[in-house]
Amino acid sequence: MSTMFWNALKLSPALLGASLLFVSSTQAQGSVPSQAAAINNSQVVVTVEPIAEALTQLPQSTVALSNSDQVTTTTSQTATTEETTSPLTATETSSSLNPTNNLLAQQVPASDTSEVLEQINQYNNPGGESLDQVTNVTQLSDVSPGDWAYEALRSLVERYGCIAGYPDGTFRGNRATTRYEFAAGLNACLQQVERLIAASVEGFVTREDLETLQRLVQEFEVELATLGTRVDDLEGRVAFLEDHQFSTTTKLNGEVIFAISDLFGGDEVDVDTDGDGDDDASVGLDFDDNTVFQDRVRLNFDTSFTGKDRLRTRLQARNVATFEALTSNGLTREGRLGFEGNEGNDIQLDILGYRFPVGPAVVQIYANGAGLDDLATTVNPLDSSGSGSISRFGQRNPIYRVGDQNAGAGITFAPSSLLRVDLGYLSGEAEDPSEGAGVFNGNYSAIAQVTFQPAEFFRIAATYIHSYDNDNLRHGTGSLASQVDVNRPLVANSYGVEASFAFSPQLVLSGWAGYTDVIVLETGNADVWNYGATLAINDLGTEGSTLGFVVGMEPKLTGASSTVGSILGTRRDDDTGLHVEGFYKLKVSDNIAITPGVIWLTAPGHDEENEDIFVGTIRTTFTF
């Protein structure tokens, strides 16, 4: 056992406590939101010349309207966010354009300048609240009735219908209206009056209203000028981004993992040296000097052609090698890290897939790197190698890994909000034209899953997977015997039940059970079982941080025919070992998370004669 790593683990509670205090203090200082938006090339024009000119042309008395002194035309406005499918995935976050002071952007019908103001309002309104027209300033509860500008604004709103507020009767939230928000509303009324003057609509504007506008413009001259300057700055920033963007259709996002890991535990394990199925020798395992520093890098190029489709091209490089005791030639396949894989940091095409909607359904086509978990939901909030469970087992039911998977297609459709159906087929040898290979004649896995969600906080899924392989089950977890590595063709029918229950957004309990019926062609059969449960405690310590636990039995060979047993060296695993895992993902910032975690394997290889093994890691994840 690495003394240095073990001592580091013993000190980890103190280190985590210090980290939490540091993060809390830095977050208390506030943050500046990122800025990104697409704004049309138009300007906020704030002028009083048309009003001044109109004042000189109007008679001294108020011009009487033909029907009444009040404009009855009121334009209904609604600021909405168009729903589109971004080329980014669920990890995406929307950015806000909010400077120090939020602006209540208004728009004027048939005015070019309204487009800019409306977009400012949309980007300041990431929640997508609807902005319905307000025709009486008393509905704007945040405006102080004691201010002279209040009465002026009330009159203009009621006469020209040019101010919009939120449905709750406020400009934004339960607070006093800022001068910048007031100036945005004033600018909308100003443009409305200018439009009426330009249209020469007789009797629509009174001299008193023009004088009131002139006084208001003088009072809020600085704020109106600042409003125009901010839009100019935004347009300049957007122009720069457009000139330097990577592509008009493609977005780049990535993930980098640094991990320091170690394996430690018992000094000896029992092994079968003569192949009779009985452990007859003890072999020493050298756990010293096993501390490793490994990495994984992923770059996703997500392209959208219609706004609702996504072509994903993922490049990957990694060097996360498996510990010797956990390799196929060692003791067990339990306890493997979730981000494991070793290509010597050579850059490879990891995933190439395209998804697009067809009516109410979504179709996915993969040319490389797909898994059944890409075609169906796994109903586990910890299913992420970069931000979820630190182990492969803790991510999802192992039956999703059964069979050879690489290229194929799937379809997902939801006939109602309560029901989701996933169907998919993946071939492991789709690119091979030789006999006994190809899309339909080689190894494959097919999935059919129905997910039922009667309430927002509860989901349950029933999964069936049919697979064919010319060698073994390939799930890569659990005991060596549960791989059913017989080096001959086999068919597997796997059945699973997965469920998730959210007591609250901060507390989510999930679990699964899986059974695989293995038929070794012209030989015999075998049975493999597994089960697990996960608990996620979200926003613990800091927002975005997660304390997670995983407990379960990794795949275990529970029975086999005599012929299959003779090939495997045993007809069943002797005992039941447990996988116990705990980790804490500390969100340092929006782009950095540090996750220390430990995996405890009792009775490794489902054999109580073997001493317990521990796998520890500190995973640091960078996202961009």
pLDDT of 128 reads 43
C-alpha atoms less than 13 angstroms from C-alpha of 467 in its C-beta half-sphere: 31
Q: Which residue has the higher pLDDT, 178 or 566?
A: 566
pLDDT for the residue numbered 63: 34
Cα(335)–Cα(610) distance, rounded to whole angstroms?
15
> Given this model, what pLDDT does residue 272 score?
53
Q: What are phi and psi of 158, to 5 degrees?
A: -70, -30
Question: Among 8-17, 161-170, 545-554, 570-579, where is mean pLDDT lowest?
Answer: 8-17
Alpha-carbon span 120 to 79, nearest angstrom: 10
The Cα 277–Cα 259 span in angstroms is 37
What angle (nearest 5°) sits at the alpha carbon of residue 323, between those of residues 7 and 326? 115
Residue range 92-136, pLDDT digits in tens? 333 333 333 332 233 333 334 444 444 444 444 444 443 344 444
- Residue pLDDT, tens place only, 282-320: 555 555 557 999 999 999 999 999 999 999 999 999 999
Do residues 405 and 475 make contact, with C-beta atoms less than 8 angstroms apart? no
**How does residue 469 score in pLDDT terms, banded at 50, 70 and 90?**
very high
**Cα gap 305→361, rounded to integer Å:** 18
The pLDDT assigned to 192 comes to: 74
Q: Phi and psi at residue 448, in whole multiples of 5°? A: -135, 125
DSSP conformational letter for 70? S
Residue 116 phi, psi (nearest 5): -65, -45
First to last CA, the chain: 36
Token pair, residue 537, equals 């405690």
Mean pLDDT in residue range 252-261: 96
Q: Please say if the pLDDT value at position 198 is more than 80.
A: no
- Alpha helices by DSSP H, listed for 86-164, are 113-123, 148-160
Count CB-CB contacts under 10 A for residue 332. Answer: 28
Give kind and range of the element (H or E) at residue 585. Answer: strand 579-587
Sign of CA dihedral 145, 146, 147, 148: positive
Q: Is the pLDDT of residue 481 over 90?
A: yes
Q: What is the mean pLDDT of residues 84-96?
A: 35
Structure-model confidence comparison of residues 465 and 179, the more confident one: 465
Angle of helix 221-244 versus helix 113-123 axis, rounded to 10: 80
What residues contact residue 342 under an 8 Å CB cut-off, 6+ apart? 318, 319, 320, 321, 322
> Which tokens is 466 given?
């049919």
Q: What is the mean pLDDT of residues 253-268?
A: 87
Q: How many helices (H) and strands (E) does the chain have?
A: 10, 19
% residues pLDDT > 90 (the chain):
53
pLDDT of 141 strictly over 70: no
Residues 6 or more apart in contact with residue 158 via CB below 8 angstroms: 70, 135, 136, 137
| pLDDT recorded at residue 200 | 60
Whether the predicted pLDDT of 87 surpasses 50: no
Q: How far apart are CA 564 and CA 483, in angstroms?
A: 12
Using CA atoms, how far apart are residues 572 and 570, in angstroms rounded to an integer? Answer: 6
**pLDDT at position 212, please?**
78
Mean pLDDT within 380-394: 97
Helix or strand holding residue 27 (H, E): helix 3-28
What is the band of 237 on the pLDDT scale with cuts at 50, 70, 90?
confident
* Nearby residues of 154 by Cβ (< 8 Å), 6 or more positions away: 136, 137, 138
d(CA 55, CA 337): 77
* pLDDT tens for each residue of 143-167: 465 666 666 766 776 677 666 555 5
Q: Which 3 state secondary structure label does DSSP give 269?
A: strand
pLDDT confidence of 195, banded at 50, 70, 90? confident
Mean pLDDT, the chain, integer? 77
Q: What is the band of 277 on the pLDDT scale with cuts at 50, 70, 90?
A: low
Contact of 427 with 439, CB cutoff 8 Å: yes
8-63, pLDDT tens digit by residue? Answer: 444 444 444 444 444 444 444 443 333 333 333 333 444 455 555 555 554 443 33
Listed range (177-191, 312-326, 498-512) with the worst mean pLDDT: 177-191
User: Sign of the CA dihedral 149, 154, 157, 163?
Assistant: positive
Q: What are phi and psi of 611, to 5 degrees?
A: -75, 155
pLDDT band at 614 (very low <50, low <70, confident <90, very high): very high
pLDDT at residue 178, rounded to an integer: 65
Secondary element (H or E) of residue 73: none
**Can you tell me the distance from the alpha carbon of 547 to that of 119, in angstroms, rounded to the nearest whole number?**
39
Could you give the angle at which helices 148-160 and 179-198 cross, rounded to 10 degrees?
Answer: 40
Helix (H) or strand (E) holding 454: strand 444-455
